[in-house]
Amino acid sequence: MSQYFSRPLPRILAIMALFAAMLAATVTTQVVTATKAHADGCYTWGRTLSQGMSGEDVRQLQIRVAGYPGYGAHLAADGDFGPATKAAVQRFQSAYGLSADGIAGPATFTKIYGLQDDDCTPIHFTYAELDDGCGGSGYDGGPLSEAATKANALQTMWQLEAMWHALGDQPLSITSGFRSISCNNSVGGASNSQHLYGRAADLVGAPSLCTLAKQARYHGFGGIFGPGYPGHDDHTHVDIRTTNAWDAPNCGI
């Protein structure tokens, strides 16, 4: 009898040891994850980035500096760190008083971490501010998937963050951002409106609609419609299309 019970014991010990090992592995994994999350809840860069490199980390950087392409230009978030990305990083660095070497290292990433929330939106804008313009919420009901629409909205917000900073961090409000198809129809928006794709924002605020329209030209906004353009005397529309269509006659644009 005692022999019968004593035989399985080593197996039980072995199973217990296995569980202990698995538990230890789980705890280790959680600690590593928690450390990364502590560095930044949104995205953590693991290497210094410079011209000639490529990857998802480059693309994530490009989204953050998309508002610094230079006058009338547009930065593609394509994951390839070319001369245009270097120039955009330099402008970003200059805007925040960093050494403008065009190399994204710890100082640049620390600045970016300080500028973003845990959902990767820049600190002065939120997904909720840009979602359904007809009083709904969320990013569904447009021609693109919800994820693709949100990705567009994210880049729009980073370009707006650059503009906000260039204008001296003055109050800036969004009166309409993403519009679902039904929302766009109800407000009489154009059938190919950039608002449908999460790529547009209607702005009001400091210091004037014309100042907003003029400044937008430096931050990658291909679509700018403001005072003097039909239906745009009470807001300035900006969108992230990559072919310039600027029209704000009362602002000299």
Return the residue matching tokens 């009901």: 141
In the residue annotation, 235 being an active-site residue is answered as no
Buried b (16+ CB within 10 A) or exposed e, 161-179: bbbbbbbeeeebebebbbb
**Does 57 interact with Zn ion (rule: CB under 5 A)?**
no
102 and 148 Cβ atoms separated by less than 8 Å: no
Q: Which of residues 137-166 bind Zn ion (CB under 5 A)?
A: none
C-alpha distances in Å from residue 248, one per residue of 157, 160, 220: 22, 18, 17
Closest to Zn ion by CB, 91 or 195: 195
| Residue from 88, 202, 212, 251 binding Zn ion (CB under 5 A) | 202
**Does 237 interact with Zn ion (rule: CB under 5 A)?**
yes
Smallest gap, in angstroms, from Cβ of residue 83 to Zn ion? Answer: 32
Total of residues contacting Zn ion (CB under 5 A): 2
The first and second tokens of residue 90, run together, are 């330099």
131 and 122 Cβ atoms separated by less than 8 Å: no
Q: Choose the binding region for Zn ion from 58-66, 102-110, 199-207, 214-222 (rule: CB under 5 A).
A: 199-207
Closest to Zn ion by CB, 111 or 237: 237
Q: Choose the binding region for Zn ion from 20-28, 31-39, 128-136, 195-203 (rule: CB under 5 A).
A: 195-203
Nearest to 96, CA basis, from 115, 77, 82: 115
List contacts with Zn ion (CB under 5 A): 202, 237
Active site amino acids: 232
